[in-house]
Structure 1
Amino acid sequence: MKNKVLQRQLNTEVIDLLNRTKSLFLSSLNQDGSPHASYAPFAIKDDVLLILISGLAAHTQNLLRTPKLSGLVTEDETQCDDIFARLRVSYDFEVSIVAAQSDEWYAGIQQLQARLGSRVEQISQLGDFVLFKLTPIKGRFVKGFGRAYDILGGTLAGEEVVHVSPSRLSNGTQL
């Protein structure tokens, strides 16, 4: 994107959406390769998302087996102007486990607790909960019809944000 002012505005809008939303939808892969949809509350720390999820949950088992994830954060449908054009950001993530009881784990739990409340302290003490770090690989920010932007550079807001047009579709399909 050539316009640096627009770039900064879009970066700010992405971070604002992440800051005012507390959960994301997850798409992980089951053992047979089929998709599994779920959700998890999250916190933001050092340009990654953190989720604390039960080892008993299917999505945790999926992430332990295949550390790749697609995630979606979207505005509340009761707050949007057009249900067909909800503000949203999606990412492809690389997933890693934060070692329990490590300095990084304590910092992550503290960040989750500051954002989500005291329940985090309770569940972090349960033996089956796993702290995952979701590092963005790429993303897409959609503001409405004709206003979709690829988020490039491996950060939540993007080192570069590029307008999506029919000529840029990744699969070569023309609309």
Structure 2
Amino acid sequence: MSDKQTESHKTESTEVSTETQQDKNQRLRDKLLPEIESFKAERSTLQLATQDAAGLPNASYAPFALADDGFYILVSELARHGTNLKESSSVSVMLLEDESEAKTVFARKRLTFDAVAELVARDSELFTKGVAALSERFGEMIDNLSQLKDFNLFKLNPQQGLYVKGFGQAFSLTGSELLDVNWKRDGHHGTSSQPAFSTPAAPM
């Protein structure tokens, strides 16, 4: 085989390999995205990790609603997380499977992501949309709380995240709606790289 034919063969092999990987990624997205969307819809609250101006961390939670590519929460500035979100827009968020639903408490399904918290102005269209989304989920309690001056509406804008299905099944997420999915192949939870949906025996 001539050098030209060899180079052409290598190029064709690379193209086939690339197309195959693209197909695999698309199949992964097609399988995982509906599952992730369902997981988000089944959760009513999210866990928050915030920090104050001095960097002191605080763990808390808040009811949420999804709208306009973000997670809306209505929180009081009298609470530590409410003050922290006004002082520092960086926040880490987790949606977590209930213990009673988990196969094992050592590998509960969870969606975690870094986000930027945006304080929504009361006189904005975004405030109306956010409150409406929360009211649809939680009823008139939201209508009452949104009228209180110490309660502020925040939109949490995801930057990057991780969806964990179980041992060795972690998937990195990117995009404003966390819709770009890639299998995380760096040995999550101390396990070696495994096929995307296998369950290795190594402990967490």
Q: Aligned pair 1:164/2:191, yes or no?
A: no
CA offsets per residue over residues 72-111 of structure 1, 9 Å max, x none? 0011111111111111100100111111132221111111
Secondary structure of the 2:160 match is strand
Work out which structure has the larger RCO, using CA pairs closer than 8 Å and 6 or more positions apart in sequence.
Answer: 1
Gaps of 5+ in 1: 170-175
The reply on whether 1:113 has 2:135 as its aligned counterpart is yes
For 1:35, the equivalent position in structure 2 comes to: 57
Match in the other structure for 1:172: none
Aligned counterparts of 2:119 and 2:41: Cα–Cα separation in 1: 23
Structure 2 Cα separation of the partners of residues 106 and 119 of structure 1 = 15
Aligned length: 167
Q: Deviations over 1:35-94 (max 9, x none)?
A: 210000000002210000001111111111111100000111111111111111001001
Please show how residues 58-77 of structure 1 align to structure 2 within 5 Å.
Answer: 58-77=80-99
CA–CA separation in structure 2 for the residues paired with 1:129 and 1:121: 11
CA distance in 2 between partners of 1:142 and 1:28 (Å): 22
Matches within 5 A, 1:76-155: 76-155=98-177
TM-score (normalised: structure 2): 0.77
SS of aligned partner of 1:78: helix
Distance 2:188 2:167 in 1: 16
Determine which structure has the larger helix proportion and give its number: 2
Structure 2: gaps of 5 or more residues:
1-20, 190-204
- Paired residue type of 1:80: A
Are 2:77 and 1:55 equivalent residues in the alignment?
yes
Q: What RMSD in Å do the two structures reach over aligned CA positions?
A: 1.7
Q: Determine what percentage of the aligned residue pairs are the same residue.
A: 36
Task: Give yes or no for contact 1:22–1:116 (8 Å, CA) kept in 2.
Answer: no
